[in-house]
């Protein structure tokens, strides 16, 4: 039997019916990291993921919201003891959010320091136009034995990708990335051991509707084509990468 699919970055709480979105992951047996954008969303996400086999909740404070919600960092910190997974966190230096970059760096640094102090956290990290700074902060504040980092929708340079691999980071790949020639070049060279899949639903589309976790199957198929692999081989590989990531050792 093929390995279960993995959607390592999906906003299940932003679909019209959160509980149904969680139930659907369980029914379809898709390992899903339900990331959140504000710590206020954490209690409900935790509640809906408790006792579930396939859905895990991530404790987040999205970089695009930091300028309005930096004051929620205390709340984020208070919930961290109940969270093995952290996300969505990171930096966004795109034109709309560049103004809050100093504040974002401050919050992300504190996130990394708290995760390093606690140990054994797994993070889903946003790094729009800021891959080098994100990697600098990870290297300084959350070096490999203190935590595990998955770079979500990574669009940094080849040099930054190589450095991320050396730092032990993984990459969660979505279909949008596979539509861009420059990103395809990057994805064609990533070590297979470092690859996970994601939808970032509902912020990406599959056809004319918002992506759902089951749509990671299209990522597997397209990435397998790019890498000249049998899709089932790639699916098994991603499943093995996921198991290795979440294991305690
Ligand atoms: Mn996201």
How high is the pLDDT of residue 155? 96
Model pLDDT, residue 2: 84
42 CA distance to ligand 1 middle (Å): 15
Burial of 183 (0-12, 13-18, 19+ CB in 10 A): middle
- Closest C-alpha among 91, 64, 61 to residue 78: 61
- Digit-by-digit pLDDT tens for the chain (249 residues) are 789 999 999 999 999 999 999 999 999 999 999 999 999 999 999 999 999 999 999 999 999 999 999 999 999 999 999 999 999 999 999 999 999 999 999 999 999 999 999 999 999 999 999 999 999 999 999 999 999 999 999 999 999 999 999 999 999 999 999 999 999 999 999 999 999 999 999 999 999 999 999 999 999 999 999 999 999 999 999 999 999 999 975
Question: Are β-strands 195-197 and 170-173 bridged in parallel, bridged antiparallel, or unpaired?
Answer: parallel
Separation of 27 CA from ligand 1 center, angstroms?
23
- 107-118 burial: b if 16+ Cβ within 10 Å, else e: bbebbbebbbeb
CA of 9 to the centre of ligand 1 (A): 6
Gap from CA of 1 to ligand 1 centroid (Å): 30
- Ligand 1 center from residue 231 Cα (angstroms): 25
Q: Which residue has the tokens 């029914």?
A: 27
For 89, the 3-state DSSP assignment is: strand
Beta bridge mates, 59: 86
């Amino acid at each position: 039997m093929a390995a279960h699919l993995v959607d390592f970055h999906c906003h299940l709480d932003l679909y019209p019916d959160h509980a149904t979105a969680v139930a659907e992951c369980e029914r379809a047996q898709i390992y899903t990291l339900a990331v959140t954008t504000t710590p206020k969303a954490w209690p409900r996400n935790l509640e809906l993921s408790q006792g579930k086999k396939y859905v895990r909740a991530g404790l987040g404070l999205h970089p695009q919201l930091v300028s309005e919600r930096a004051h929620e960092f205390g709340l984020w910190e208070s919930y961290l003891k109940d969270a093995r997974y952290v996300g969505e966190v990171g930096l966004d230096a795109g034109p709309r959010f560049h103004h809050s970059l100093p504040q974002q760096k401050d919050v992300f640094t504190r996130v990394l320091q708290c995760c390093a102090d606690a140990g054994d956290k797994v993070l889903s990290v946003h790094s729009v136009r800021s891959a080098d700074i994100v990697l600098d902060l990870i290297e300084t504040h959350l070096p490999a034995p203190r935590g595990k980092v998955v770079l979500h929708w990574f669009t940094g340079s080849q040099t930054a990708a190589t450095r991320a691999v050396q730092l032990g980071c993984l990459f969660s790949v979505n279909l949008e990335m596979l539509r861009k020639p420059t990103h395809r070049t990057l994805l064609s060279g990533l070590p297979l051991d470092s690859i996970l899949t994601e939808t970032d639903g509902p912020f990406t589309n599959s056809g004319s509707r918002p992506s759902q976790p089951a749509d990671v199957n299209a990522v597997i198929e397209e990435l397998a084509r790019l890498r000249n692999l049998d899709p089932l081989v790639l699916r098994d590989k991603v499943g093995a990468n996921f198991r290795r990531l979440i294991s305690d050792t």
